[in-house]
């Protein structure tokens, strides 16, 4: 999956250090990040290659630090270009692709919290944690992380695959039922509600599989396998989905090394390695 960058290691401890020689600058503009132009492999500029007056420390991978720069001179220097983070899903090296996703999300957080939502004063980055604070009313704002579920609904040798309406998502391949957790709901209740809402089915044996951070949307995905309970007759919710159908194990295409939890869960089912097949 995309966030699995071993043998590289993340360090998310907060720091107020400033960018120096060799540190990477993630220059993020509306879903794009500045990369070396004319090059398939991702390469970001460092603080010795592009002049900035300071920056916000983000995280490190191994001993390489990443910053959001401040005081960047326009226009963008020659030899570099803004690249869409949508292309990072399958880009290499993988750990730099994931760093770009994370940086882009954090850049959005800082951009959207320049003012206090409570009193309207200018807000500033915290000196002690990943947060923005209001010097006037002392309100504290953290990056928003939205819990959501991915549901592999299984009936014997079949799994339920869905497709999104073009108006709802840019993702065109088959997917699994998914949805955001609502206030006051457990994740298991989200699983039951989303399945009932999207395809009109009942479930049992809800079994947790794995989680995946998904910085593109700020979601924290929790993957669950569950079994069909009762009727298999689908009532499609057509606002969100264009299709839902039962697919047998034999019909599934192999999906090795999937960047997404959805892809890995479908592959685990295909191989008979999912927690319900194993139990």
Listed ranges 136-144, 156-164, 247-255, 262-270: which one lies at the site for Zn ion (CB under 5 A): 136-144
| Helix, strand, coil % over all residues of the chain, rounded to 5 | 20, 35, 45
Strands of 10-11's sheet, edge to edge?
10-11, 54-61, 64-70, 24-25
Q: Is 119 in the site for Zn ion (CB under 5 A)?
A: yes
Q: Which is nearer to Zn ion, 27 or 132 (CB)?
A: 132
Q: Which of 210, 204, 184 shows the shortest CA–CA distance to 192?
A: 204
Residue 181 structure tokens? 């957790």
Listed ranges 35-43, 65-73, 121-129, 238-246: which one lies at the site for Zn ion (CB under 5 A): 121-129
Least spacing, CB of residue 68 vs Zn ion, in Å: 22
Least spacing, CB of residue 223 vs Zn ion, in Å: 38
Listed ranges 8-16, 138-146, 180-188, 223-231: which one lies at the site for Zn ion (CB under 5 A): 138-146
Q: Is 118 in the site for Zn ion (CB under 5 A)?
A: yes
Least spacing, CB of residue 56 vs Zn ion, in Å: 20
Q: Is 137 in the site for Zn ion (CB under 5 A)?
A: yes
- The conformation of residue 80, written as its DSSP 8-state character, comes to E
Q: How far apart are CA 148 and CA 196, in angstroms?
A: 16
Least spacing, CB of residue 5 vs Zn ion, in Å: 37
Which run of H or E residues covers position 35? strand 32-36
Q: Which of 33, 50, 134, 244 binds Zn ion (CB under 5 A)?
A: 134
What is the SS3 assignment for 102?
Answer: helix
Q: Is 114 in the site for Zn ion (CB under 5 A)?
A: no
Q: Which of 116, 154, 195, 244 binds Zn ion (CB under 5 A)?
A: 116
Least spacing, CB of residue 133 vs Zn ion, in Å: 9
Q: Is 229 in the site for Zn ion (CB under 5 A)?
A: no
DSSP 159-224: EEEEEE-TTT-S--S-B-EEEEPPTT--HHHHHHHHHHHHH--EEEEEEEEEEEEETTTTEEEEEE
Q: How far apart are CA 194 and CA 163, in angstroms?
A: 15
Listed ranges 35-43, 96-104, 120-128, 141-149: which one lies at the site for Zn ion (CB under 5 A): 120-128
Q: Is 133 in the site for Zn ion (CB under 5 A)?
A: no
A 10 A CB-CB count for 67 gives 24
Q: How far apart are CA 98 and CA 104, in angstroms?
A: 10
Q: Which is nearer to Zn ion, 17 or 118 (CB)?
A: 118
Q: How far apart are CA 215 and CA 153, in angstroms?
A: 25
Least spacing, CB of residue 141 vs Zn ion, in Å: 10
Least spacing, CB of residue 138 vs Zn ion, in Å: 7
Q: What is the contact surface with Zn ion in residues (CB under 5 A)?
A: 116, 118-119, 121, 134, 136-137, 139
């Amino acid at each position: 999956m995309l966030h699995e960058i071993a043998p590289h290691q993340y360090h998310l401890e907060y720091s107020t250090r400033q960018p120096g020689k060799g540190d990477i600058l993630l220059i993020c503009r509306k879903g794009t990040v500045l990369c070396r132009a004319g090059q398939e492999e991702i390469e970001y500029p460092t603080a010795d290659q592009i002049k900035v007056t300071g920056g916000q420390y983000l995280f490190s991978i191994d001993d390489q630090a990443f910053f959001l720069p401040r005081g960047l001179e326009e226009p963008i220097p020659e030899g570099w270009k803004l690249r869409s983070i949508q292309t990072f899903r399958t880009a290499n090296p993988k750990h730099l692709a994931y760093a770009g996703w994370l940086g882009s999300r954090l850049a959005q957080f800082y951009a959207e919290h320049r003012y206090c939502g409570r009193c309207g004063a200018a807000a500033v980055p915290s000196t002690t944690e990943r947060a923005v604070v209001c010097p006037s009313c002392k309100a504290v704002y953290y990056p928003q992380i939205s819990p959501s579920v991915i549901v592999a609904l299984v009936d014997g040798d079949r799994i339920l695959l869905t497709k999104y309406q073009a108006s709802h998502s840019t993702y065109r391949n088959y997917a699994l039922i998914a949805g955001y957790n609502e206030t006051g709901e457990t994740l298991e209740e989200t699983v039951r509600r989303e399945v009932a809402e999207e395809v009109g089915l009942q479930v049992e044996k809800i079994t947790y599989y794995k989680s995946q951070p998904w910085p593109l949307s700020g979601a924290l995905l929790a993957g669950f396998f569950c079994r069909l309970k009762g009727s298999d007759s689908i009532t499609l919710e057509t606002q969100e989905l264009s299709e839902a159908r039962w697919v047998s194990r034999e019909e599934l295409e192999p999906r090795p090394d999937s960047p997404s939890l959805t892809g890995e869960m479908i592959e685990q089912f295909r191989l008979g390695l999912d927690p319900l097949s194993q139990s």
